[in-house]
């Protein structure tokens, strides 16, 4: 018997939904209110302009997702480019630190480099050079 019922819906038809009050005979005021609210919402959605334009709204949604993906890709490329610039700046800064004896060959700060790190003015390197040259 079960298989006979399923054969009836094999052609693409969907199984009918059971109504909780009429078919299942559930008697509850709260359930009645909820079913009525659901019917009202379904009616309002059926009357909306978006319901009459399902393909157009889907196309717009797909376009929005494509643009979001493109934005993420562009943000990633911008981030990579800025990291490349910062890497170049970092290499240059390390070279200056080594030439001024503020860091050794392994980029470990020397005493002079540690003093420069501890100074919080606008030109730490100049002030450190003046300190170690005996100007102060």
Kindly state the DSSP code that residue 109 receives in the 8-state scheme.
B
Q: What local confidence, expressed as pLDDT, does residue 51 receive?
A: 59
Q: Which of 15-19, 39-43, 90-94 has the lowest mean pLDDT?
A: 15-19
Backbone torsions φ then ψ of 48, nearest 5 degrees: -70, 160
Q: What local confidence, expressed as pLDDT, does residue 124 receive?
A: 84
Q: What local confidence, expressed as pLDDT, does residue 120 receive?
A: 78
| 68: Cβ contacts below 8 Å, ≥ 6 apart | none
Q: Which of 13-22, 29-38, 104-113, 123-132 has the lowest mean pLDDT?
A: 13-22
Residue appearing with tokens 């054969």: 7
What distance lies between CA 26 and its chain's CA centroid? 45
Q: What local confidence, expressed as pLDDT, does residue 73 receive?
A: 95
Q: Provide the 3-class DSSP secondary structure of residue 134.
A: coil
Distance CA 3, CA 46 (A): 35
Distance CA 36, CA 101 (A): 82
Global pTM value: 0.36
Give the dihedral of Cα atoms 78, 84, 85, 86; nearest 10 deg: 110
Tens of pLDDT, residue by residue over 48-104, are 665 566 666 778 888 999 999 999 999 999 988 888 887 888 888 888 889 989 899
């Amino acid at each position: 018997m079960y298989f006979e019922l399923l054969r009836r819906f094999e052609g693409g038809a969907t199984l009918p939904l059971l109504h909780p009050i009429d078919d299942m005979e559930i008697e509850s005021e709260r359930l009645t209110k909820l079913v009525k609210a659901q019917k009202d919402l379904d009616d309002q959605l059926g009357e909306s302009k978006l319901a009459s334009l399902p393909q157009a709204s889907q196309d717009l949604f797909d376009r929005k997702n494509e643009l979001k993906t493109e934005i993420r890709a562009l943000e990633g490329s911008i981030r990579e480019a800025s990291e490349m610039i910062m890497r170049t700046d970092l290499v240059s800064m390390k070279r200056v630190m080594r030439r001024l004896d503020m860091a050794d060959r392994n980029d470990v700060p020397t005493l002079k480099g540690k003093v420069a790190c501890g100074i919080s003015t606008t030109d730490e390197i100049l002030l450190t050079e003046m300190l170690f040259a005996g100007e102060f």
